[in-house]
Amino acid sequence: MAGTKEIKRRIKSVKNTKKITKAMELVSASKMKRAINATLSARPYSGYSWEVLTSLSEHVAKSKNPLLVEREVKKILIIFITSNRGLCGAYNSQITKRVLQTIKGKEEGVEIDFISVGKKGEAFLRRAKQNVIASFNDVSDTPKLIDIYPIANLMIEEFKKANYDKVVIAYTDFVSALTQLPQMRTLLPVKKEDIEAEIAEARSDAPKKGEIDYTFEPDYESLMNIIVEKIARIRVFQMMLESSASEHSARMMAMKNASDAAGEMIDDLTLAFNKARQAGITQEISEISAGMASVS
């Protein structure tokens, strides 16, 4: 009967684990719904902002805005977005692998520094002995625009001072609850080709060249000084939302898979318990029968 007691103990342990994973699944599902709603709501604004910048970029060559200046790339700043907690499947490992490929594939003489958003990414960068100029580990699970201002402002100031020649963001693009894609996109300098390529990728009905004609008030340069920074912040915010939705989706699916696996394990252990109990009963009957036969 010692075998059945051990199996009963394991069944109880697995049931307790299943309760925890099921609760985490429900919490993640609730957070995922809010994150997805925020992401989908922000996408049109982000997309149309980028389209406005596409039309304005017709005059990029005339602009003296520092965020539009292209320089020889000697130093790159990467904003690396991960989660603060684990138990979210391959969410962190996918974007970490993408960043690791970038580090290994960098050209000779090019330096890479990082701004980490999330404890998991910071821990990876520390282990990999990469230079982290700033860490942001207190960003909300459901970020608001004001939450990303310190990150975006640091990025903009560093680029303006020419401390970096290129700013890239590493994030996870939300496709569906089952699919999240690790992405790396250039934020600065703002280049017309990059803008048009992103819009074409996101929308098949992107406006064509010369479709919109703008009148600038008070003048083009004053407008660009405001709008380029604003849209750069919006891009960071949108990618934070995409990462948040991806994280909660990945965690919900991971907890669902864990709950399903726990259920299957409970079924297997219950079957094993019934077999062990039946074997024990059969053995006891055999011993009683043998005892009665020996007496008679």
Please list the active-site residues.
Answer: 88
Instruction: Work out the angle at residue 165's Cα, subtended by the Cα atoms of residues 164 and 167, and round it to the nearest 5 degrees.
Output: 75
CA–CA separation, 1 vs 282, rounded Å? 12
- 66: helix, coil or strand? helix
Assess contact for 287 and 8: CB atoms under 8 A.
no
Assess contact for 248 and 28: CB atoms under 8 A.
yes
Assess contact for 142 and 244: CB atoms under 8 A.
yes
- Cα 264–chain centre separation: 29
* CA distance to 47, 190, 209, per residue, from 31 (Å): 24, 33, 40
